[in-house]
Amino acid sequence: MVQVMKRRRTQKEQSDSIAAQMPESKTRLIEAIPIPSGDPLETLLLSSGGPVGLKDLELESEALGSIRAAGVELIVPLIGQGELLGALYLGPRLSDQPYSTDDRRLLGSLASQVAPAMKVAQLVREQQAEAKERERIQQELQVAALIQQTLLPKELPAIPGWHVDAFYRPARAVGGDFYDFIALDDGRLGVIIGDVTDKGVPAALVMATCRSMLRAAAQRHTSPAAVLADVNDALVPEIPPAMFVTCLYAIIDTEAGELVFANAGHNLPYVRKADGVIELRATGMPLGLMPAMPYDEKRYSMASGEEMVLTSDGITEAHDPNGEMYGFSRLMNRVARKPSNGDMVSAVVRDLEDFTGADVEQEDDITLVVVTRTSSAQDSAQTFEDIGRVLDTFTVASEEGNERIAIDRVTAVIVPLGLNSSRLERLKTAVGETVMNAMEHGNDNRPELDVGVEVSATEESISVRVTDQGGGRPIPDTMTPDLEAKLAGEQTPRGWGLFLIEQMVDDVRSTREGGAHTIELIMNREGAT
């Protein structure tokens, strides 16, 4: 009677047994009796160096009692690399003689050969099980990624006067990030960013459910707070325990630039303004935790050139190789600096990769949505990308000589910026000529029509925007005046304005919106005099 008892076993393995090849009537299968880890019998077997007879053995062991009761007389331990891999349980010899020294030596020799084979078999089984588990997880991740990517917007909204950009990169163990854009009545745009706790298929399914609920509620309510409250109540009975969803929902009136938003525990959005970055703060519990939760609703008016940046915690909670977190302040600092090419999404992602290291496996999904209010309602490509801090805005009536008022006001706000005197004088002349053109060509010298002037500055340059009221003649193309022809009386002595403007400043940009012209004068703050 022989029984192989394995220390590491599955339920099926516990029932495995080997019966000695003996006459059927004289064999009996001994039930596999496990030896608990830490049992004194385990210690004894590990230190025995060979088969252990139980006849006279005295040991405080529960397992020993059970094994004896099963009729075992000899235990042959199977030891590999100092570990008790299993044991052979042997009952009395068929001859009723005690086990001889030769028997024990033979069994010990057998055990020393069986043990390594068992170890290998165990490792192979474990590796097979791990491979299967990995394959299952991989398939699950593929399903999760498929669900997520299928539900994310395929296209970005194209709205005159606005620029919308988004970025989503899943972690290997796909998280539950999502974003969405919903076209609403009256030119309003719903913007959603969210994050489901947990990863993989469960998170993806909750994300899909939540997204559908948000889309449905967004059509029923005009208030973001009401939408979140509705979705929260619907989600609570559906969501698996210990899961919840953080979510920010904003509705943008794309005509007026008004933003109404509510937040269910998501990262606060940032807005890059002309004079710095602010957080858009509204409080509310994550969705799916508790029913009947109230949500704050806040408003913000986005000015031209302002940029709202929505992120997921995969960005702020990313770590560098030393374990330091990217964090909110680093993100805020990055958002505060307008990228020279205007691409905030790439700037943030690049900054994050510089911080974490490019080859490091991403810890969590990364999601970024950037909504910019550009200054032109017609063509975002023709907007004034370089608008910075607005220093002064004013109007002057279209009366000859009023360009001097504009020059003096612009000078007053620019002098403290330290522009050198030569460039200041040039800018003053350009401003005067531009305002004169706006009064004459744009407003037909009608005193009741104003010319608008806006002065702003970035670290690199000063911008003066001059806007007429439209309705006047189109701005003619700049031509280099032919002085000889003028002196010869073949041309009018006039026609110097546009030429002078272009000669005086570093860049001149022109846009037309609803018939009104805007000329933007750009003067770099550093450069040749």
C-alpha distances (whole Å) from 324 to each of 317, 329, 346, 355, 362 are 9, 13, 22, 9, 14
CB of 489 to another protein, least distance (A): 6
CB of 491 to another protein, least distance (A): 9
* Three-class SS state of 143: helix
In the bound state with another protein, the residue whose beta carbon lies nearer, of 139 and 422, is 422
In the bound state with another protein, the residue whose beta carbon lies nearer, of 149 and 510, is 510
Label residue 232 exposed, middle or buried (CB < 10 Å: 0-12, 13-18, 19+). Answer: buried
CA–CA separation, 117 vs 360, rounded Å? 40
Question: Residue 77 phi/psi, 5° resolution?
Answer: -70, 140
CB of 436 to another protein, least distance (A): 7
Question: Residue 469 phi/psi, 5° resolution?
Answer: -95, 0
CB of 361 to another protein, least distance (A): 60
CB of 457 to another protein, least distance (A): 21
CB of 499 to another protein, least distance (A): 8
CB of 409 to another protein, least distance (A): 11
Nearest to 419 by CA among 274, 524, 275, 503: 524
In the bound state with another protein, the residue whose beta carbon lies nearer, of 57 and 483, is 483
Residue with tokens 């001059």: 466
Which helix (H) or strand (E) element contains residue 164? Answer: strand 162-169
Interaction site with another protein (CB under 8 A) = 400-405, 408, 422, 425-426, 429, 432-433, 436, 481, 483, 486-489, 492-497, 499-500, 503
CA–CA separation, 325 vs 430, rounded Å? 49
CB of 413 to another protein, least distance (A): 17
In the bound state with another protein, the residue whose beta carbon lies nearer, of 158 and 479, is 479
* Three-class SS state of 476: coil
In the bound state with another protein, the residue whose beta carbon lies nearer, of 406 and 457, is 406
In the bound state with another protein, the residue whose beta carbon lies nearer, of 25 and 421, is 421
Nearest to 249 by CA among 206, 219, 291: 219
CA angle, 107 as apex, 103 and 111 as ends, to 5°? 170
Residue with tokens 């960013």: 193
For the sheet containing 461-467, what is the strand order?
Answer: 389-397, 450-457, 461-467, 516-524, 507-513
CB of 470 to another protein, least distance (A): 22
In the bound state with another protein, the residue whose beta carbon lies nearer, of 61 and 398, is 398
CB of 417 to another protein, least distance (A): 18
* Three-class SS state of 455: strand
CB of 425 to another protein, least distance (A): 4
In the bound state with another protein, the residue whose beta carbon lies nearer, of 104 and 404, is 404
Nearest to 41 by CA among 71, 66, 64, 57: 64
In the bound state with another protein, the residue whose beta carbon lies nearer, of 16 and 400, is 400
CA–CA separation, 520 vs 509, rounded Å? 5
Q: How many of the other CB atoms lie within 10 Å of CB of 42? A: 18
Cβ-based neighbours of 340, under 8 Å, separated by 6 or more = none
In the bound state with another protein, the residue whose beta carbon lies nearer, of 121 and 496, is 496
CB of 401 to another protein, least distance (A): 4
Question: Residue 239 phi/psi, 5° resolution?
Answer: -80, 140
In the bound state with another protein, the residue whose beta carbon lies nearer, of 8 and 486, is 486
Question: Residue 467 phi/psi, 5° resolution?
Answer: -125, 130
CA–CA separation, 309 vs 282, rounded Å? 15
In the bound state with another protein, the residue whose beta carbon lies nearer, of 37 and 492, is 492
